[in-house]
Every structure is written in structure tokens, then in C-alpha cells.
Structure 1
Amino acid sequence: VGGDTITELAKHDFTCKDGSELIQYTSVFGEKTESGDGMEVLVNHAGVVAEIRNKRGGDIPSSGSVLAGTGEAAEWLRDHARQGMKIQVKSKIIGDGRQLKLNQTTSMINGGPRLLENGEISINAVEEGFHWEEDPGFYYRFGERRNPRTLAGIKENGNLLFVTIDGRAPGWSVGANFEESAKVMKSLGAVDAINLDGGGSTTMTVGDDRVTRPSDAAGERPIADGILLVE
């Protein structure tokens, strides 16, 4: 809603923060909230305020949640939250200026930049924050140079495409830049496509067999997440 630093615009690999934030933590986040100035309200599984804390960094219940506030949001919690009262939290997500419908099967994948839109190459790296004015060389290293790539797309009939391109291995594969990645996805029939994390993280397995050559000298990189397709 305004006030984010470093910037209110999209920026790759940066965490932007607002001096006044209201955050809902559940056990999915971990055992404790982020510590710091502000205020927290512990809400039990029934939505009832069970505890009020005058600083952030407390335990997160296995069921229920913690509402943490900083700045004006902390003052709002301090003025309105009372022990034993019931709090209802409503969440909504806005994308491209409109509210997205959420349900139990809604999921989101972080990636970028976009490569294809409606069957045409459409790389919006500037709008998505992949080009930094203070470091123009970043985009050259990340997007213009050839690197290993992990790509996702969708065909006109709804079929999904997951593609990996090995790189940094002359004689085997030097990788691809963003424009080349877009052309690969278009050649495979994708109408919309996006770049996901690449480099040493690019790995694909089919069953128990790894079918790519990870580019890190140490071999396959331990990563925090991935896309799993189960038959």
C-alpha cells in the first residue's frame, strides 16, 4: 500500500520492507516469528485472542496463528486487540489490478521473467525488476549471457511443459540466454512461458534417473524447493 524500501517496484533478489506491516504467521513459517520492535497477537484455532505480546519474536502455535504488526499496524493492534475477543482474518491477492480467486488447490510458483505471452516472445525483464539501473551488468550476466535454464510453459491445449537446458559445459551444452529460451519454448508449442531459477539449480530427474548435468563443480546442488509431478 506504499512506503516499501528499497523500492515499491518489483526487484529481483531483494526483500522490500514497509515500516508499517501487518503479517499473519502460521506454523508453516516455523516455530517463531521474526523478532524486532512492534506487537504480536496470538490467535488460537477458534480465532480467539489467547495472548498479547509487546514485541515480535514469539512462538507460533501448531494450530491458529500470530498477527504481528510494525509501525502503524502495531498501533492498530494495540488499540483494537483484546484478550478473549474473536478476530476474523480475510485474505485476498491482487494480480494485474484485479482480485485473484483462491481455493484449496490454489498454488503459486515464483519465477521470472516472462518469456512468452499469447504465443509471442514477450520478455518483460525491466518491469519484473531484473534490470538494475545501479548495476546494468547484472542483467547481462543473468539474462544476456548463456546459462543453464529451467523453464515452464503451457500449450494451447492446456498441456504443461517443463524444460531444462544444461549449460557452462562446452562440448556438451553452453546453455541459453532469455531470448533463446523463449524460442525453445515456442518451438515446443508453448503459448505462455516463464523462466524459473537456473544456473547450478537446474536439474531434472525422471523416476530415479537424473537426466541433466548440473553445472556446479560439486555436482547436484541441494535446493529448498522443486516441482514434483506424480502419476
Structure 2
Amino acid sequence: MNQPAPTDPMSTPTEPAAAPRRSWFARHKVLTTFGALVVLVVVVGALGGGGDTPAAAPATAGAGEAGDTAAPGAEEAAADPAAEEPAPPTAGIGTPVRDGKFEFTVTSIEAGVAHVGDDMFGKDAQGQFTLVHMTVTNIGDEAQYFDGSSQKLVDAQGRTHSADGSAAIYLGDAESFVNQINPGNSVQGTVVFDIPADATPASLELHDSMFSGGVTVSVG
């Protein structure tokens, strides 16, 4: 009969070998599988969805850049349609024009006149008399006074001259000294201006009264 081997009372009992520790992925198979699926979906979405994303629109020039390339004054002309329309031509001798209740037609102009009246009753010009002959018609529905002193003459240098009413009196038929004109009637009048001897008449400012806006007639 075999006897058990005697044991050494001083020896430590041998512990069984520990089982090998599994990795985290092995111990969490469900989480690992789910995570892999999530990563796969993200990658496929990134690769396949790139064609669906609209391309960025090309940058357009800002208002400041457009203004730099536009022709000078283009923005002002676009904002103000009236700026694109040419100014109406100025009326000249023989063209009827209107201001208030009067229609004026300048028929002729005499410049360089040194004296008006006769030898006994007359007046000498300080510079030169300029006689403006015109037809004045009342186009309103009430009587209106035609007064030569309300008229202006502008010379080629841009200077504005008033009418000389006292010189017009010596013409006898000037008809421009506070002459009342009834509706529909016309008068043939002459307005006298005493301007410098070297001045050249350029235009007239004709008014139905001293407070009206006036209308311009070119005589130069």
C-alpha cells in the first residue's frame, strides 16, 4: 500500500494558475459590434453624401466693387431717371413761350442804339440801347398788366440787366409801360435795355409779373 508522500510543513501550498484575462473588446462584444456599425454608417454617409451637398456659390462683387467699375455718374443716373433725359432746347426768336397768363413771341432785336426819341425829346444811352420787339398775348381768363420793367436781359458774360422804362417812353409805341391786356388780346410791344457798349445780348428772361418764375428765350 502506497503511503502519501510526506509534506513539508514549511512549504506554501501551490495556487492554481490564473486563467488568461480576455481583452475589453472580447468582454464587450455587443458594444464593440454597435460601435463598429456606427463608424461604418458615418464613413459611408461622408463618402456617399458629398455629391448631394450643393457647391458654394461663387462670390459676387459687392456694391463697392461694382461702383468702382461702373462709369462715373452711372449710379446717379440710375437713381434719377430724369438725369438721363436731355434738357429741352431753349426757345429762340420767333418761338412762342409762356409764363403765367402771357404768351411771348420775340420778333426781333436791335442792338447798338445810341439814342431813342427825337432831337427835342429823347434819351442818350449810357452804353448802348438794345430794343427787344415782341408780341404779348393774354392767354388767361382775366386782364393782366404787361410791364416792361419785369423783363430781364442776360449778356454773353452772364450779367443780368434790367429794362429801362424811361427810355421806352420816348419810343411812343413801346406799349410796355404798365399796359393792361384783356384775355385773348395781344399787343406789339418794345422793351428797352441800356447795356454796356461792349456787351452782347445772349438771352431774355420774360415774366408775366415781377413775381413769376419767368421763361428764357435765346437771342445770342
User: TM-score when scaled to structure 1?
Assistant: 0.18
Query: Which structure exhibits the higher relative contact order, with contacts defined as CA atoms closer than 8 Å and separated by 6 or more residues?
Result: 2
Higher gyration radius (CA): 2
User: TM-score when scaled to structure 2?
Assistant: 0.18
User: More helix per residue: 1 or 2?
Assistant: 2
